[in-house]
Homo-oligomer: A and B are copies of this chain.
């Protein structure tokens, strides 16, 4: 395994010189795990060379299938990811794993967890694993993760698994950047009903009922299938698959892999892969453009223009909308 988890502190320094970027990308292309780690660190930190990194990686975009895995704490995401990596490797794929949200029981509080996972693939040069904070400079998952995916694509990964704990917005975000989204559930956790409420049916391409040897597994599967049956979808639309697994005993993993393949085939056959990726690229471009504009506005904070306008607003001489207009006109916008 290539431990892309933590770049040594020294690695971030010299990289800031832009002439190092092409070399780094070349080394990452050649499979150097340290170069992959450095690039992801640059991406995560919102470094100023980021546009250059992105430019160097652009030609390799779209190579990998991006698979999102989400689910509540305790459903077995880490174990499932681990076994899935094994199954994908057995099929000859190079695999990247981005584990988002270090506060989750697996990726986070759990340096131990990471180590256990690493050990399983410790001798395998075809696997990159990386934990990422969900709070980045650029606003979290949605901003840094697509770039990290590009790095792993650049490094030759055929599949990139993006694992995130299914809480709040994270699961929706992971779905928006994945080609295929797996939602993991476990029997008896009330997840199925929660799932409906949270609109998870909208984002799941494959439901995995893990811990399928537990009481209530049949009921959970039935609940989900009932939900799917009730869901409205057109004739050409994907019908979410339901797969059972017992990841801790490596059971059902091939079924998960098969469901992922099946969905990938469907995406390609229906032109949906292209559509999803273009929508994703559009969102990414918008987010970057907005970040640029935000930075430009922020740069006015230290000048005299914003403080002058603020003083006028505070004393009631003008309203904040008029002040914003004036600020924008000073930006040339």
Contact = CB atoms under 8 A, between A and B. Distances in A.
Contacts of A50: 321
Interface in A282-333: 282, 284-286, 288-290, 292-294, 296-298, 301, 306-307, 309-311, 313-325, 327-328, 331-333
B314 A277 contact: yes
A59, A320, A331: most-surrounded residue (chain B CB, <10 A): A320
A315 B62 contact: yes
Contacts of A116: none
A314 B281 contact: yes
A51 B290 contact: no
A57, A279, A280, A288: most-surrounded residue (chain B CB, <10 A): A288
Q: Is the interface of A mostly helix, strand, loop or mixed?
A: helix
A58 interface: yes
Nearest to A274: B314
Contacts of A316: 58-62
Q: Copies of this chain, how many?
A: 2
A228 interface: no
A261 interface: no
Given A62-B314, A311-B278, A288 B321 contact: yes
A305 to B, nearest CB: 10
A198 interface: no
A58 B317 contact: yes
B62 A288 contact: no
A55 B297 CA distance: 22
A7 interface: no
Nearest to A321: B51
A54 interface: yes
Nearest to A59: B316
A284, A314, A317: most-surrounded residue (chain B CB, <10 A): A314
A313 B284 contact: yes
B332 A309 contact: no
Contact of A310 (B281, B294, B318): B281
Nearest to A276: B314
A228 B98 CA distance: 42
B61 A289 contact: no
A321 B314 CA distance: 37
Contacts of A310: 278-279, 281-282, 285
Given A286-B306, A333-B293, A54 B314 contact: no
A189 to B, nearest CB: 23
Interface in A1-58: 50-51, 54-55, 57-58
A62 B317 CA distance: 11
6 tightest CB-CB pairs across the interface, nearest first?
A51-B321, A282-B310, A288-B324, A54-B319, A281-B313, A58-B319
Given A57-B319, A59-B316, A278-B314, 16 more contacts: A58-B313, A58-B316, A58-B319, A61-B314, A281-B310, A281-B311, A281-B313, A285-B320, A286-B301, A286-B327, A290-B297, A292-B325, A292-B328, A296-B333, A332-B332, A332-B333
